[in-house]
Amino acid sequence: MRSDARTTPLLLRMSTWGVMAFLHIPLALIVLYAFSAEEKSYVFPPPGLTTRWFAVAMEREDVWAAIRMSFEVAAWSTAIAIVLGSLAAGALARSRFFGRDAISLLLILPIALPGVVTGIALRSAYHTLEIPFSFWTIVIGHATFCVVVVFNNAVARLRRLNPNLIEASMDLGADGWQTLRHVILPQLGSALLAGALLAFALSFDEVIVTTFTAGQQTTLPIWMLQELIRPRQRPVTNVVAVFIIALTFVPIVAAYLLTRSDEAGAR
* 75 CB-near residues (< 8 Å, 6+ apart): 200
Residue-level pLDDT at 42: 65
Longest dimension (CA), the chain: 74
> Which residues of the chain fall short of a pLDDT of 70?
1-8, 37-44, 46-48, 95, 97, 99, 162-167, 170-176, 178-182, 230-233, 251, 255-256, 258-267
Residue-level pLDDT at 1: 46
Enter the pTM of the model. 0.74
Report the distance separating Cα 57 and Cα 63, nearest Å. Answer: 7
* 142 CB-near residues (< 8 Å, 6+ apart): 73, 74, 77, 202, 203, 206, 209, 210
- Give residue-wise pLDDT tens across range 137-185: 888 888 888 888 888 888 877 777 766 666 677 666 666 676 666 677 7
CB 167 within 8 A of CB 176: no
Residue-level pLDDT at 76: 93
Residue 252: CB atoms within 10 Å: 15
For the chain, how many residues are written?
267
Q: Concatenated DSSP letters for 177-202? A: HHHIIIIIHHHHHHHHHHHHHHHHHH
Residue-level pLDDT at 11: 78
Q: Which residues of 8-35 are buried (b: 16+ CB within 10 A; e: fewer)?
A: eeeeeeeeeeeeeeeeeeeeeebebbbb
